[in-house]
Each structure stands twice: as C-alpha cells, then as structure tokens.
Amino acid sequence: MNFELSEEQKMIQQSVERFVQENYDLPKRVEISSKDPGYNKDYWGSMAELGWLGLPFNEEDGGFGGNQIDTLVIMEQFGKGLVLEPFLANVVLGGGAIQMGGSEELKREILPSLIEGTKQVTLAYAEQQSRFDLEDVTTSARQEGDKYIINGQKSMVLNAESADHLVVVTRTSGGQVDEEGITLFLVDSNTKGLEKQNFPTVDGLRASEITLENVEVNAERMIGDIDNGFEILKVVSNNGILALCAEAVGAMEILYKDTVEYTQQREQFDHPLSDFQVLQHRMVDMFMEYEQCKSLLFRATMETIQDPKMAQKTIHALKHLIGKSGIFVGENAVQLHGGMGVTEELRIGHFFKRLLVIDSQFGNADFHLDKFTDF
Amino acid sequence: MDIELSAEDLAFRDEVRAFFEENKIKEGEDYFSWRLGWFKKAREKGGWDVPKWPAKFGGPGWTPTQHYIWEQETARATIPFDLPFGLGMLAPILMSYGSKEQQERFMPDIRDRKVNWCQGYSEPGAGSDLANLKTKAVLSDDGSYYTVNGSKIWTTLAHVADWIFCLTRTDDSGIKQQGITFLLFPMKQEGIEVKPIITLGGSHTVNTVHFTDVKVPVENRIGEEGKGWTYAKGLLEHERTGLAGLSKSLVEVEQLKENARSVQRGNGTLMDDSSYKSKVAELEIDLMATEYTELRSLANAAAGEELGPESSILKLKGTEIKQRIQKLTVEASGIYSSAWGDGGIGFPFAKGGTGGYLNSRYFTIYGGASEVQKDVIAKKVLGLTKGSKK
C-alpha cells in the first residue's frame, strides 16, 4: 500500500498547480467563460504542448501510457481553479471511448490530433427521458448498406459547441433500457441532419442539445462491436466519474480553506467569526467531509486500476459521497460567508455551483446510493 | 383542545375565497390596473388591502385565526404582488413611534401602493451584528437637517425604491446600540448611488447604496435622536420570529410532488423512487409539525399571551423547509438541473429551478443568520448565558 505519487506525477501536479494559480483567478475565469468558445484556446494549446492531453492515452496512439491516477492529479488541480478547458469531454469521455473501442484506423485518425489539441471530441449519451440511466437509449441507428442512419436526440452534451466529432450512443437492437443493443458511432459535427442548440450551464461551462435527423454515418465509424457498446460506455462513464470526483475534491479544498480564512478576518459582535464555537465545529465538519471524499477517491481510483469490475461498488459509493458532501461543503461555505457568499463577487459561489453541477452528472447522490445497495 | 374552525371562521373563509374568485385577473386585462383595482375593492371590504394593520389605522382588526385563514387562502389564490417594506416594515414603526404628521404624510401613499420603500439597515461591517452600523448622520448647526454619509448593503429593490427608511449613527460615544437614529428620505436625489449586486441565481434584487452628503430635514426623523435601535428592534424581532410562509410552502410541496410525478422512471415516476419519495415524505412531516407550531404560537397570541418559546423556531424551521423544497426541485430536474437560463429542453419546472435553489441559500442568512437565531434562542429561551451554571 502506497499513496505516494511518482516523481513524474509530482512534477505534473506542480505544473498544473502553477498553471491554475497563474491563469485562473476569478475575474479571469469569468471573462473566459463569458466569451466564445467558453474556454481559452491558448490555454488549450499550452495543455497540449505540456503533454497533459496525451497523458492517459496509450503510447502507440501518441499518448504517454498513463492511467486514472494521472487524470486524478490533473483534475484535482483543475478543480482548484474551476478550469474551463474541455479536458473531461475530450480526454476522458470522447477520447476515452475511441481509445477503448475504436478501430486502429479510427484511433490513428482522431487521437493524435486530439492529443495535439487541434481536433476535439465529446460524448453524447444522455437523452431527454434517460435521466441518469446509461442504458436508457432510444436514438436509433438503422443499417442501410455500408451506412447507418441515425435518428434521435441527445441531451446535455458537454462541449459539443467546440467538438469536431461526437461519440453518439445509439440503439441498434433491443428495448429502450436493454444493455444489449447499444452501439457507439463517431459522427462528425458538421454532418447533414445534425443540429446543435448550445447554451451555458450553471457552472459557467457549455452544453448542447443535439438532434439527429437521418444522419448518415459510415459503418467504419462504429466504435466497438455492434450491439456491444454498453460496456465501453460503462467504463468511460466510470472514468468520467473518477475525473469529476477528483475535480470536486479540489473544489472542496478551496471551499473549506477559503471559509476558514474568511471567518478569521470577518468581525461581528467584536470578534472574528472564527471565535464562535458553532462555526468552528461546522468548519471541522467541512474539513472532515473533504478528507473522507479524498480517501474514497483514492480508493476508487486505485481499485479501478487494479480491477475495474471489482471497483464498481466503490465507484457508486464515491459518487454518492461526493454528491452529498460536495453540497454540504458548498452550502456551508456560502452560509459562513453570509450575504457575501450568495453573490457572484466571491469565488465561493462559483465553486459551489460547480459542485452542484457535478452532482447532476453521471448520476446524483441518490442514484448511486440506490445502485450501491444492489451489490 | 379543538381544531375545528367555528361557524364564523368558516363563513369568513368562504367570504375570502369568494372575494379572491370574483376578483381574479381576467384574460387580456392590464396587470397594473387590475392590481390597483384589486386593492381598492379589498379596501371596500373593510381594510382587506392592509390585513395586518390594526383597526385603529384602517386595518380589518382580524383575530389570529382569521389571519391564519387569510394566509392559507392567499397562498392558493391569484392575488396581486405586494412588497413588504412600506406596508409591513415601516408602517408598524410609524404607527408606534411616528408623529401624527408623519403618519398622515407617509401612510396613505404606502396604503395606496404609490410609493415604494426600501430598508437601509445592513452595512458592509454590520450584518448579523446590525448595531455595528457606521453610516453617519450629522445634525446641522441650526438643527434643521442631517447630512448623511456612508454605505448600505443587501438593500432589496433599492433600484426601484422612491424612499428609504434608514438607520444612521449620530453618536458613537456609548455602546453600539445607542446613538442610532432612524431617518426617512427620498432615493432619487443627488448624493445617492445605487449599485447592483448579482446573486448566485443570476438575478438582481439586492444592491449596495452609497450616501454622499445627503441632506435630510429633521422632520424626517422618527422619534428621538439616538433611539433608532429601539424603534427598529421591535420590528427586527418580528421579522426574525415572524410567520414562516408555511402556507406557501404547503402549496410548493404539492407542486413539487406534481413535478416529480411528471418525471417518468421505468414504469413509474420519480415519486416511486424510494430515496426521492422518502425525502419528500420527511419534508412533509417537518412541514406538518411546523404548521402546528405556528398554530400554537398564533393561539397564544390570540389569548393575549406573550409569544411562547415555540415561536422562536418558526423562522429557522420555515426557511430550512423552503430550502429543502428548492433542493428537491433541483434533484427532480436530473441532468437538466445544470442548464442555465433558457438552455436545455428539460422539464418546464427545471427552468429557473437551480437559480431558485441558489438564491434560497440566502433564506438562512438574511434577517439574522440561523446561527445567530440559535444564539438568541439559547440565551433567551433556554437561559444559557455565561455564568448560568446551576
């Protein structure tokens, strides 16, 4: 048992930490978020140059052969600045699906340009009725010769606005909620019949509603085998959960530390707020939740690397705890900042919003508690 | 003990219902002229336009039970919006401490909804510790006017207010609660600058207000100089222990359940989901108990007794319940809870749901943070002061 990062990982951690400190104070973030495309293209370029976008990809695909711990290291630091660049959508979700199920040709075509930061990919899985159920898919793909015709709708697709390609989850057979019969396709964004409706999300990021009307895609653009896409989707979703939870842990650290600092400065009733025991205990609770989340994050990540199937129960536990504790820490950071916490002027509220959104992605606290009890 | 409403109370309830039904806004009717007309008709009913004012000042002089019925019925009815600042906050102070001239000058316009007021209490350094306020008012040598300098914060709707009632400091030689003076002055004048504060829900309701050499005639002072804290405090306690808007919450919980029933899950809906429905059930149980805590409090008030200890928990429980309703709305929205503004297709109730939740975090902060309320209860109700060892 060893919780030490490798020398390389420590270097990456320091370099991401420095990047966030230098480039992600609140005014800067608000400025980047409010302008198109919702992130900074120069930053994205630097991330590619520094090799961050290639970390978890295999060496033969142009990556560095890293694993979920490398992603954890990056995402935790990103969480401390609420970084806007679409790392999750590209590297973990879209890229992750291609790496896992794409043909050699597809990987050669997409992954190097993704790693260089010149092309972008995302994952379109959720639908209007699906809520958090990955297997609930109605968007259909019907074979016609060497092509497939896709019809349907995809919801809350992260970063679709900037994505050149979308990994679209479709149903090729079976019923609406069958795990069998799900197939993934790589669809170019500018394909005829694909429409995006883009909008900002609560946390200052971007998402889109996608409609697909008789969208033609070549059979060669299938990711993985026909009807067997669910397994890829499940693994990618688990990796997405690990990445999001690492980001959440970073955000929780900022929230509890900012709160401790603020209560030491703010005076009411002739004392700093930090003199009041009821507030001290609340901050201890926030700190404990943060540490517990971090422990479960390490556990779920390490177990996933060892044996992804065995780790499933821990992943449910993690996403439940992160959802619940993230909102506890966020709500109390706001409460202890008083009126100032409810404004856009302090970064507290922005971190809280991100934690709120993280709870709604890949299943909320209730959803994963329910799944946990199935084991 | 008896929970049945008397025949008179039932008749009153029917009368209120009938009034609301008769005076609903008609299709195509202009909202603002309907609103003013509604208040006019309510006034003709015998002071229904100012239900909380005592009969002496033109209110209906209802019993506590009648007030309770009114609140329950208003939560379900279509009635025009109203702002609390003039009607519910300043008017009671004018009634208790204002001169006859001040009452005659300000109360008719408040009653006619002609003048919008805002409340100038909190300051950057004076939140829960309100008595720490620093906005300075200096009396002129001839004693005819004050010159006001300083800043207020969290001033709700200051950007649309015509007048402000404002706590200022005229003396800082004694303890903080002394030397505070209660002034009234117009907002649209030189030397007053209003800046918006955007809250987490993305909306503009509160502001900062800066005063630079604002001149206020001495006849706009309520009561004596330096006694403003006493005047404001009575109201503040009313605000802190006041009714918790439970009738509204009851309606909102019904809406919440309806929303959840519109979210399909498998062969059922979200209301069949065991964790979700347990949370809604827990919320309803708390609400049921709090409703009766409020009724007990009202009954004591009706019997002419002092407000009992149970009334102190109403704001705490009431605001917590409102926050939980908002949180459960966010959860019902599922993946669409993260869409901002008009984004996403989602469910109709998801629009604005998350903004509502974020803004609801304010409920346990304004009018005295919950932690301060609990301090007050610990001291005043449980007698837990330093040195209270037995």
In whole angstroms, give the CA distance from residue B340 to residue A339. Answer: 22
Same domain, A243 and A350: yes
The b-or-e profile of A276-299 (16+ CB within 10 A means b, else e) is beebeebbeebbebbeebbebbbe
CATH code of A351's domain: 1.20.140.10
C-alpha closest to that of B211 among B160, B141, B135: B135
Question: What is the number of structural domains in chain B?
Answer: 3
The pLDDT of residue B238: 56
C-alpha closest to that of A160 among A113, A110, A117, A123: A123
Contact status of B197 with chain A (Cβ, < 8 Å): yes
Contact status of B379 with chain A (Cβ, < 8 Å): no
Tens digits of per-residue pLDDT, B58-107? 999 998 888 888 988 998 898 999 888 999 899 999 999 999 999 999 99
Which stretch of DSSP H or E encloses residue B167? strand B163-169
Same domain, B377 and B249: yes
**How many residues are listed for chain A in this entry?**
375
User: Exposed, middle or buried by CB within 10 Å (0-12, 13-18, 19+), for B61?
Assistant: middle
B61 is a domain residue: yes
In whole angstroms, give the CA distance from residue B305 to residue B301. Answer: 5
Are the beta carbons of B129 and A269 separated by less than 8 Å? yes
Same domain, A361 and A240: yes
The whole domain housing A175 covers 122-228
Domain end position, chosen among B228, B253, B288:
B228
The pLDDT of residue B350: 83
A179 is a domain residue: yes
Are the beta carbons of A335 and B129 separated by less than 8 Å? no
Domain end position, chosen among A51, A85, A120:
A120
Same domain, A94 and A32: yes
Same domain, B167 and B273: no
Same domain, A128 and A196: yes
Contact status of B361 with chain A (Cβ, < 8 Å): yes
B246 is a domain residue: yes
Same domain, B251 and B376: yes
Cα distances from A280 to residues A194, A347, B316, in angstroms, run: 53, 21, 20
The whole domain housing B17 covers 7-82
Report whether the peptide linkage leading into residue A37 is cis, meaning its omega lies within 30 degrees of zero.
Answer: yes
Same domain, B264 and B348: yes
Same domain, A115 and A127: no
B100 is a domain residue: no
The pLDDT of residue B240: 45
B332 is a domain residue: yes
Tens digits of per-residue pLDDT, A145-174? 999 999 999 999 999 999 999 999 999 999
| Selected residue of B269, B338, B384 to mutate for chain A interface (largest A Cβ count, 10 A) | B338
In whole angstroms, give the CA distance from residue A112 to residue A116. Answer: 6
In whole angstroms, give the CA distance from residue A109 to residue B363. Answer: 54
**Region A30-56 average pLDDT:** 97
Structure tokens at A36: 């198109």
Same domain, B263 and B357: yes
ipTM reported for the complex, 2 dp: 0.87
Cα distances from B163 to residues A16, A185, B85, B191, B192, in angstroms, run: 52, 63, 10, 14, 11
Tokens 């006849």 belong to which residue?
A: B219
Structure tokens at B166: 């404002």
Residues of chain A neighbouring B335 (CB-CB closer than 8 A) = 126, 130-132, 155-156, 360-361
Tens digits of per-residue pLDDT, A79-106? 999 999 999 999 999 999 999 999 999 9
Min distance A50 CA to chain B CA atoms (Å) = 31
Residues of chain B neighbouring A202 (CB-CB closer than 8 A) = 337-340, 354, 358
A259 is a domain residue: yes
Same domain, B35 and B143: no
Same domain, B377 and B278: yes
The pLDDT of residue A202: 95
Pairing relationship of beta strands A206-218 and A194-200 according to DSSP bridges: antiparallel
The b-or-e profile of A140-179 (16+ CB within 10 A means b, else e) is ebeeeeeebbbbbbbbbbbbbbbbbbbbbbbbbeeeeeeb
CATH code of A198's domain: 2.40.110.10
What is the chain B residue with the closest CA to A199? B343
In whole angstroms, give the CA distance from residue A326 to residue B50. Answer: 44
Contact status of B125 with chain A (Cβ, < 8 Å): yes
The pLDDT of residue A102: 97
User: Exposed, middle or buried by CB within 10 Å (0-12, 13-18, 19+), for A228?
Assistant: middle
Min distance B199 CA to chain A CA atoms (Å) = 4
Same domain, B174 and B216: yes
Same domain, B354 and B327: yes
Same domain, A293 and A173: no
B339 is a domain residue: yes
Per-residue pLDDT 10s for chain B (390 aa) are 667 788 999 999 999 999 999 999 999 999 999 999 999 999 999 999 999 899 999 999 998 888 888 988 998 898 999 888 999 899 999 999 999 999 999 999 999 999 999 999 999 999 889 999 999 999 999 999 999 999 999 999 999 999 999 999 999 999 999 999 999 999 999 999 999 999 998 889 999 999 999 999 999 999 999 999 999 987 666 554 445 678 889 999 999 999 999 998 888 999 999 899 999 999 999 999 888 888 787 777 767 666 666 777 888 899 999 999 999 999 999 999 999 877 667 778 888 889 999 999 998 988 788 998 888 888 888 888 877 777
In whole angstroms, give the CA distance from residue B235 to residue B106. Answer: 18
Contact status of B204 with chain A (Cβ, < 8 Å): no
Same domain, A157 and A205: yes
Considering only residues 99 to 158 of chain A, which have any Cβ-Cβ distance to chain B shorter than 8 Å?
126, 128-132, 155-156
C-alpha closest to that of A53 among A43, A168, B299, A18: A43
Structure tokens at A203: 């946390």
In whole angstroms, give the CA distance from residue A241 to residue A296. Answer: 12
Same domain, A368 and A255: yes
B17 is a domain residue: yes
User: Exposed, middle or buried by CB within 10 Å (0-12, 13-18, 19+), for B67?
Assistant: middle
Same domain, A277 and A347: yes
Contact B107, B57 (CB under 8 A): yes
Rg of chain A over all Cα atoms, to the nearest angstrom: 21
Contact A8, A73 (CB under 8 A): no
C-alpha closest to that of B132 among B166, B182, B169: B169
B236 is a domain residue: no
The pLDDT of residue B346: 73
> Percent of chain A scored above 70 by pLDDT?
100
Domain end position, chosen among B178, B206, B228:
B228
What average pLDDT does chain A have?
Answer: 96
Same domain, A140 and A253: no
CATH code of B211's domain: 2.40.110.10
Which amino acid, residue B118? C
Same domain, B371 and B257: yes
Are the beta carbons of B338 and A207 separated by less than 8 Å? yes
In whole angstroms, give the CA distance from residue A247 to residue A240. Answer: 11
Same domain, A242 and A323: yes
CATH code of B371's domain: 1.20.140.10
Structure tokens at A124: 């379109």
CATH code of A81's domain: 1.10.540.10
Residues of chain B neighbouring A342 (CB-CB closer than 8 A) = 199-200, 358-359, 361-362, 365
Same domain, B264 and B377: yes
Same domain, A351 and A258: yes
Which amino acid, residue A84? L
Are the beta carbons of A353 and B358 separated by less than 8 Å? yes
HSE, CB side, 13 Å, CA atoms: give it for residue A348.
27
**Window from A233-242, A278-287, B48-57, B312-321 with minimum mean pLDDT:** B312-321
Contact status of B61 with chain A (Cβ, < 8 Å): no
Domain end position, chosen among B30, B62, B82:
B82
B103 is a domain residue: no
| CB-CB neighbours of A270 under 10 Å | 9
Question: What is the number of structural domains in chain A?
Answer: 3
The pLDDT of residue B241: 44
Same domain, B267 and B207: no
- The answer to whether residue A3 scores a pLDDT higher than 90 is no
Query: What would the DSSP string read from start to end of B245-305?
Result: -HHHHHHHHHHHHHHHHTSEETTEEGGG-HHHHHHHHHHHHHHHHHHHHHHHHHHHHHTTP
